[in-house]
Amino acid sequence: MDQIQQLIEILGRQGIHDERVLLAIQNVPRELFLPENLKSHAYENRALPIDCDQTISQPYIVALMTQALQLQPTDRVLEIGTGSGYQTAILSQLCHTVYTVERWEALGQIAQERFLQLQLSNIETAFGDGTLGWPEHAPYDAIIVTAATPSIPAAYFQQLTSGGRLVIPVGGSDIQELTLAIRGEVDWTCSTLCGCRFVKLIGEQGWQET
């Protein structure tokens, strides 16, 4: 069995049962999103370092977050924290358009080149403070945040449709709870998916830069 198939099997055992999510993981070459010296680790089920002191998330976490968003082919999705672009590429397989925001221009540009290379034409990129969302294209059907915040920034409530799904790590700077928040008319309904460890979401409505 090849390495991708092994990873798919592991994800299945870990509770990833959405076939469309597993197919997306199978179709997107994770090695393309890694630095040269780490490409041989692409199908291990773990997070790995990328440029600018950031990380590419563990495949299990990418799959779990994607599954929790319950994407429909017509959905427009906002992603905060493009990073390597791997999660973005997975989302792009499952929805109409992904709008992705990254704070580091250097990371965002490399990710953009990868999207071109893979001919993923339904991804819009921006650089800036994603704690404020991306108001121009709101409202979104789903929002995914791949960096940790002490609490849910208000902009995400404002920029999500009623009944829309938000997946976000919420908690301290070291350890957080991966939270699924469904937007009601006046408030969120929240549930916890698992414990997790993400880098900080830094910005006006997140952590302050130190």
**Which active-site residues does the annotation give?**
57
Length of the chain, please?
210
57 in contact with ligand SAH (CB under 6 A): yes
Considering only residues 58 through 97, tell me which ones interact with ligand SAH, judged by CB under 6 A: 80-81, 83-84, 86-87
**Which strand ranges, in their side-by-side order, compose the sheet holding 97-102?**
123-127, 97-102, 76-80, 140-145, 160-171, 176-183, 188-196
Nearest distance in Å: CB 101, ligand SAH: 5
Q: Which is nearer to ligand SAH, 190 or 202 (CB)?
A: 202
145, β-bridge pairs: 80
Distances (CA, A) of 178 to 29, 65, 123, 166, 181: 25, 8, 24, 10, 10
The CB-nearest residue to ligand SAH is 83
* Closest residue by Cα to residue 114 from 129, 128, 125, 99: 125
Q: Which is nearer to ligand SAH, 75 or 102 (CB)?
A: 102
104 in contact with ligand SAH (CB under 6 A): yes
Cα distance between residue 171 and residue 169, in whole Å? 7
**Cβ proximity of 20 and 94 under 8 Å:** yes
Q: Which is nearer to ligand SAH, 30 or 183 (CB)?
A: 30
**3 state SS of 147:** coil
Nearest distance in Å: CB 12, ligand SAH: 21
Select the span of 50-58, 70-78, 151-159, 185-193 touching ligand SAH (CB under 6 A).
50-58
Buried b or exposed e, range 17-43, using 16+ CB within 10 angstroms: ebeebbebbeebbbeebbeeeeeeebb
* Candidate residues 16, 102, 180, 196; the one interacting with ligand SAH per rule CB under 6 A: 102
Select the span of 10-18, 22-30, 171-179, 197-205 touching ligand SAH (CB under 6 A).
197-205
54 in contact with ligand SAH (CB under 6 A): yes
Select the span of 13-21, 123-131, 151-159, 168-176 touching ligand SAH (CB under 6 A).
123-131
Q: Where are the beta strands (DSSP E) in 62-175?
A: 76-80, 97-102, 123-127, 140-145, 160-171
149 in contact with ligand SAH (CB under 6 A): no
Q: Which residues bind ligand SAH (CB under 6 A)?
A: 54-57, 80-81, 83-84, 86-87, 101-104, 107, 129-131, 146-147, 199, 201-203, 206
